[in-house]
Structure 1
Amino acid sequence: MDIRDCANKSFLRLFAHLALVAAAVFTAFGVLAEPKPKGYEYYLTGNAVDAVLPQRPPSPSTLLMGGGPDVDAAFKWMIQKAGGGDFVVIRVRGADGYNQYVYDMGGIDSIETLVIKTREAASDPFVLDRIKKAEILFIAGGDQSDYINLWKGTALETAINELIGRNAPIGGTSAGLAVLGQFDFVALNGTVYSDDALADPYNRRMTLDREFLTAPGLNGVIADAHLDTRDRMGRLLTFLARTIQDQWVSVESARGIGLDVETALGIDNGIAIRLGVGSAYFLRPTIAPTVCQSGQPLTFRNVMVDRLSGSGSFHLGRWTSPGNGTTKYDLSAETGVLVSSQPGGGIY
């Protein structure tokens, strides 16, 4: 073997050894540590160049969707209110399931989905830039406790509120709907069923929060989805009682909104219209709860309900339907049991 080959091999062995030592040292000091995951995923369908619209929408608008099958007309309504532009979906779980579906409806420049999975990602400059440049924002379904734990109190919340201030349409379905009212059921200990809520308004699953977001038209409101298929009227009534009992809102200002599945409510400048196939329910108390205490069944009487099932509208500011477009009845909780003034005692 040539002496030069021996020298070269010795040098290579020495270099490899030094490289390993350097890597260990640098890693210990964080120099060559593995890059941290971004904490978000990003999906784009359509034009990557930011759309610039000639003007903002003239009035604020909110879209509430009751879960289950999505309502095509609801997404088209949001696009029409925005005048097009970039449609942004945010969520904690899932992927880009909305992208092609909404993009194929036409009328938008692009649709982007951000799966924002950590509090750090909720303050990421790229994430915030995409939110701030949106013309439409939609919060997907999932688990609303994720939205509270990961997004509340972050720069993402601030960016969403800035969008609302620019009259950009904002909407949500299921868990996304649940965080759009001034008051929210946030499911920090899992979901709660109507029977359990009525039996004890302060049971451990009755976790409420306030003022994460307040979409236009929803001051004083707590909202719920899947009302019909999951029999949630009882828990919505209990949520409403809690907001009063906990002195978050006065009897005069407390409101509840419930939506059936495959049903949406489009709210433009305080006027709500129904989209889809089910009903929307508007609840207004007339008196404070008689009994709303830990460990005791709820007694809460004479809650007025307006059920919007047709093509009419509902004025949220006046809490009335022009032209009597709703079915009106009263609901009460009597020691944890719902009682209705409708013929036959129907709750819905």
Structure 2
Amino acid sequence: MHLARLSTAIVLTTAALVPLQATAAHASVSRVRQGSATDVARSAWSGPAFVMNGSGAVVPATMSSALNAVRGGTGTLDVVVIAGSGSTTPECDVIIGLAGVNSCTTLTLTAAADGNNTQVNTDIRNAEFVYFAGGDQCRYVAWKGTALEASVESVVAKGGGSGGGSAGLHVNSDIVYDACGGSATSATALADPYNAAMTFTTGMFGWPNYLNTINDSHFVTRDRMGRTMAFVARAIADGRTSAGKAWGVGIEEGGSFVIDRNGLATLAGQNAYVVLGDHTPERAVPGQPLTYSDYKIWRIVPGGTFDFKNRPTCGYYLRSVTNGTPGANLYNGTPTTGCDGGGGGTPSSFTETEPNNSRSAANAVTVPATVTGDLATSGDRDYYRLTLPAGATLTVTCAVPTAYDADIYLLSSGGSTLTRSVNDGAGADEAVTYTNSGASTTVYLDVEAYSGTGTADYTCGLTTT
């Protein structure tokens, strides 16, 4: 169930010509620092940002994105990796080589009391990103209520970040499947959602935009959709969430979400799934199989996004569990397009975040969406990035204020123009439609000022069929 950490001797090498340092902060704490021996001193950071990995290993692409978001693209920062076992430093071995990293310190804690260790908490509070390694999340939740919990929260509060993989993924969700009663399988969880292995911890970390979630790892490889469905049903039945809804987030091995400060998650590596339960279970009682109708499931592919702040109400497929037996084909389905049935029926809203004047700085959005922005300076261009599935038709309609004349362009992942709308005149609305005849791909909406400027907002609706 957990990613095992290797238990071999540490080989001291050099990192960026700086010797590794191994010091004993406590009898049960191992501390290995790579990179600079001096922490970065800086008054402000640009996060928070988070990484959520389906297996324990660091995914360089998303880790780099998260660290860059925290740095605001400038300067360097310090990273701490927290592990509950092992004697090697595989996470820091990768992280120390990423751009903008001043140091990476691996802290291996073997007892609950280590959460109150002075050196451990000094290292964490001086860092700008905390990564929880794979291992055993039951050890990690033992740090709830210790100084370590508050120290990690202080990192996020100052604009830093947190994340992890496998066990580290679990501990970073609002509701933690802690596995303190053993490892639940989909079969055992569906047969009895109150099985002894179905144990949870709440009230540890509640990250911005990530409330009412429960993470699961190694998702497809270990066939964990069924147990995530049971997690969601339990969370609702036990009253662990607000508004009677719970969201399961399942990430496949090698998959990784990077989540920005606005709650927008972008996926790399492998598929991920978001499972929504939005009503009371038909049956979730001890000793009996689960019955729950119409889970809403979003399947996200690499390059795709999911907005945890403005959670979508369309694009899901439905699956049910009856008497402990789930429906067929749990990991694929035809997404809904009508935005009806329990989700609220409205697209998510997104307000542009500057700077977004190039494809590389594009704001990521999840369709269906309504985006708003302004063209306040001459030559202003606002870019939005989205994933267009194979065979999908994208329609964009933009209402333009009378203060300026705006044009819109739909661009390919490489920047070539797929289609455009260039109606003349201030206040002239624009609209485009494009059908993707190839594989799932990234496209960009470019909204730009042709003449005139102003702070009045344009509004663009984006839908797919």
TM-score (norm 2): 0.62
Q: What is the CA distance between 1:181 and its match in structure 2?
A: 1.2
Residue equivalent to 1:72: 60
- One-letter amino acid of the structure 2 residue matched with residue 44 of structure 1: R
For the 8 Å contact 1:181–1:213, the answer to whether it is kept is yes
Match of 1:274, as an amino acid? L
Shift of 1:54: 5.1
Deviation at residue 311 of structure 1 after TM alignment: 2.0
Structure 2 residue 134 is the aligned partner of structure 1 residue 146: no
SS of 1:222's equivalent?
strand
Looking at structure 2, the residues matched to 318 and 215 of structure 1 have their Cα atoms a distance apart, in angstroms, of 15
- Residue pair 1:141, 1:175 contacting (<8 A) in 2 also: yes
Q: Which residue of 1 aligns with 2:182?
A: 190
Cα distance change on mapping 1:42 and 1:203 into 2, 3 Å: same
More strand by share: 2
Aligned partner of residue 98 in structure 1, secondary structure: helix
CA separation in 2, counterparts of 1:159 and 1:77? 23
Partners of 1:214 and 1:258 lie apart in 2 by 18
- What SS does the corresponding residue of 2:249 show, helix, strand or coil? strand
Aligned residues: 303
Verify the 8 A CA contact 1:164 1:216 in the aligned structure 2: no
CA distance in 2 between partners of 1:288 and 1:218 (Å): 21
**Partners of 2:66 and 2:109 in 1: CA distance:** 22
- How much does 1:279 deviate? 0.9
Q: Which residue of 2 aligns with 1:337?
A: 325
Paired residue for 2:31, among 37, 42, 46?
A: 42
1:56 counterpart residue number: 45
Q: CA deviation at 1:194?
A: 0.4
Q: Report how far residue 120 of structure 1 moved.
A: 2.7
2:266 to 260, 264, 273: 273
What is aligned with 1:156?
148
Cα RMSD for the two superposed structures: 1.9
Secondary structure of residue in 1 paired with 2:154: helix
Report SS of the residue matched to 1:238.
Answer: helix
Structure 1 residues 214-241: Cα deviation after superposition (integer angstroms, max 9, x where no partner): 2232101111111110000000010000
The answer as to whether partners of 1:331 and 1:338 remain within 8 angstroms in 2 is yes
In the TM superposition, residue 250 of structure 1 has moved relative to its aligned partner by 4.2
Kindly indicate whether the alpha-carbon contact (under 8 Å) linking 1:178 and 1:225 is maintained by their aligned counterparts in 2: yes
Matches within 5 A, 1:50-129: 50-53=39-42, 55-57=44-46, 59-67=47-55, 70-83=58-71, 84-94=76-86, 95-129=88-122
Cα distance, 1:106 vs structure 2 = 2.9
Say whether 1:347 aligns with 2:331: yes
* 8 A Cα contact 1:145 1:188, kept in partner: yes
Higher relative contact order (CA 8 A, sep 6+): 1
- Cα contact 2:83–2:109 (8 A) shared by 1: yes
Check whether the contact 1:67–1:174 (CA below 8 A) recurs between aligned residues: yes
The 1:36–1:135 alpha-carbon spacing in structure 2 relative to 1, beyond 3 Å, is: closer
Whether the 8 Å contact between 2:215 and 2:249 is mirrored in structure 1 is yes
Deviation of 1:38 (Å): 2.4
1:103-144 alpha-carbon deviations (Å, 9 max, x no partner): 122321111111112233211111111000001110001000
Q: Which runs of no fewer than 5 residues in structure 2 stay unpaired?
A: 1-23, 333-465
Question: Deviating runs (4+, > 4 A) in structure 1?
Answer: none
**How far, CA to CA, are the matches of 1:48 and 1:216 in structure 2?**
31
8 Å contact kept, 1:62–1:215:
no
Question: Deviations along 1:8-29, whole A, 9 cap, x unmatched?
Answer: xxxxxxxxxxxxxxxxxxxxxx
Check 1:203–1:82 CA distance in 2 against 1; reply closer, same or farther (3 A cut).
same
Partner residue in 2 for 1:203 = 195
Equivalent residue for 1:22? none
The one-letter code matched in structure 2 to 1:129 is T
Deviates more, 1:266-275 or 1:60-69: 60-69
Structure 2 CA distance for aligned equivalents of residues 99 and 48 of structure 1: 14
Cα gap change, 1:38 to 1:141, in 2 (>3 Å): same
1:279-294 pair list within 5 angstroms: 279-294=271-286
Instruction: Give the conservation status (yes or no) of the 8 Å contact 2:170–2:215.
Output: yes
Listed one character per residue, the Cα deviations across residues 149-180 of structure 1 (whole Å, up to 9, x for unaligned) are 2x111111111111121121111100001011
1:212 matched to 2:204: yes
- The 3 A distance-change label for structure 1 pair 88 and 182 is same
Aligned to 1:245: 237
**What displacement does 1:316 show?**
1.1
Shift of 1:286: 3.2
Q: Is the 8 A contact 1:148 1:186 kept in 2?
A: yes
Per-residue displacement from partner, 1:287-342 (whole Å, max 9, x unpaired)?
Answer: 21100001100001111011110423211122128xx8xx63112111111115xx
Please state which structure has a larger fraction of its residues in helix.
1
Cα deviation, residue 69, structure 1: 5.1
| 3-state DSSP of counterpart to 2:127 | coil
For the 8 Å contact 2:263–2:308, the answer to whether it is kept is yes
The Cα shift of 1:252 comes to 4.4
Counterpart residue identity of residue 347, structure 1: Y
| Contact 2:268–2:302, Cα closer than 8 Å, also in 1 | no
- If you compute each CA radius of gyration, which structure gives the higher value, 1 or 2? 1
CA distance in 2, matches of 1:201, 1:308: 26
Cα distance in 2, alignment partners of residues 220 and 138 from structure 1: 21
Given the superposition, is the C-alpha separation of residues 298 and 114 from structure 1 closer, same or farther in structure 2, using an over 3 Å criterion? same
1:297 aligns to 2:281 (yes or no): no
Whole-Å separation in 2 of the counterparts to 1:285 and 1:245: 11
